[in-house]
Amino acid sequence: MATRLQFENNCEVGVFSKLTNAYCLVAIGGSESFYSTFEAELADVIPVVKTSIGGTRIIGRLCAGNKNGLLLPHTTTDQELQHLRNSLPDSVVVQRIEERLSALGNCIVCNDHVALTHPDLDRETEEMIADILGVEVFRQTVAGNILVGSYCAFSNRGGLVHPHTSIEDLDELSTLLQVPLVAGSVNRGSEVIGAGLTVNDWTAFCGSDTTATELSVIESVFKLREAQPSALVDEMRKSLIDTYV
């Protein structure tokens, strides 16, 4: 189910939040409405944590993570690191990495199995990603843009990319990521998908400027319509049974 919201009158919610299957990080805002929207959706299922990274509120663009781990830039302070380690479940490995490109949210986009990274990322960082997040790493560009984290967003069920992506690129990315991909826009024609949208396997949050058409595209590609946490299990059960003799 996709929700429309705003952070302090700004529609770029993907900048101020990070949503994964195991946890959700939210920036500290003047009013509590941003946090309470997330709470309302996710409170029972996963922890919603208020934090800052390096003293800034643009946490969505600075960190990258999935249900296995969370990577933080070198600008993260020790207190923030400790706070996150305390608030997140133990299965999630929280690690600060030394990387020249410190906006990890713009450089890395991942789901629980595959990650796409900025082509200029360090080799050590790539190994760290593979190690901590437990994913297969691919260096790629999206529609000719090297900031893959800004121009695409994907979960385990589907993905949305920059609207100018050609069909060949779409096929290639889809093969790599093993999920269905669609080219589209968010926030009334904005091409910066990663900043306007944050998504996990059963829910998505996007800016309030998003039109109904865009919302329907998001809901269909990420398969959010019928998605409830319990429905995931039913689906898996169906696929586990091979044949009825």
Partner 1 sequence: MAQEAGMFTVPKTIGSVLCCKCGILMQPNAANMCAKCLLSEVDITEGLQKHVVIIHCPECESYLQPPRTWIKTQLESKELLTFCIKRLKNLNKVHLVHAEFIWTEPHSKRIKVKLRVQKEVLNGAVLEQAYTVEYVVQDQMCESCTRVQANPDQWVAAVQLRQHVSHRRTFFYLEQLIIKHDEARNAIRIKQMDQGIDFFFVNRSHAGKFVDFVGEVAPIRKRNDKQLVSHDQKSNNYNYKYTFSVEICPICREDLICLPPKVAASQGNLGPLVICTKVTNSLALLDPFTLRHCFLNAEQYWRVPFKALLSSRQLVEYIVLDIETVSSEVVVGGSKYVVADAQIARVSDFGKNDIIFNVRTHLGHLLNPGDYALGYDLYGANSNDIELDRYKGLVVPEVILIKKSYEEKRQRKRNKPRSWKLKSLNMEIDNSTRGRDNEEKMDSEYEQFKRDLEENPELRFNISLYRNKEYQPSEMASDIDGDDFPSIRIEELLADLELSDEEMEDGSTRE
Min dist. Cβ of residue 63 to partner 1 (A): 28
Site for partner 1 in 189-208 (CB under 8 A): 189-191
- CA distance linking residue 4 with residue 204, whole number of Å: 9
Min dist. Cβ of residue 208 to partner 1 (A): 14
Using CB under 8 A, which of 46, 59, 97, 170 touches partner 1?
A: 170
| 3-class DSSP assignment, residue 64 | strand
Asked if residue 168 binds partner 1 (CB under 8 A), the reply is yes
Min dist. Cβ of residue 214 to partner 1 (A): 5
Burial 46-61 (b: 16+ CB within 10 A, else e): bebbbbbbeeebbbbb
Kindly state the helix (H) or strand (E) to which residue 56 belongs, with its residue range.
Answer: none
Using CB under 8 A, which of 169, 198, 205, 227 touches partner 1?
A: 169
Nearer to partner 1, 146 or 183 (CB): 183
Site for partner 1 in 214-243 (CB under 8 A): 214, 216-217
What distances in angstroms separate CA 135 from CA 104, 129, 130, 192, one per listed residue?
16, 7, 5, 24
Residue 64's Cβ-side half-sphere holds a number of Cα atoms within 13 Å equal to 36
Evaluated on CA atoms 14, 18, 21, 23, the torsion sign reads negative
Asked if residue 119 binds partner 1 (CB under 8 A), the reply is no
Asked if residue 83 binds partner 1 (CB under 8 A), the reply is no
Nearer to partner 1, 106 or 165 (CB): 165
**Binding residues vs partner 1 (CB under 8 A):** 163-170, 183-185, 188-191, 211-214, 216-217
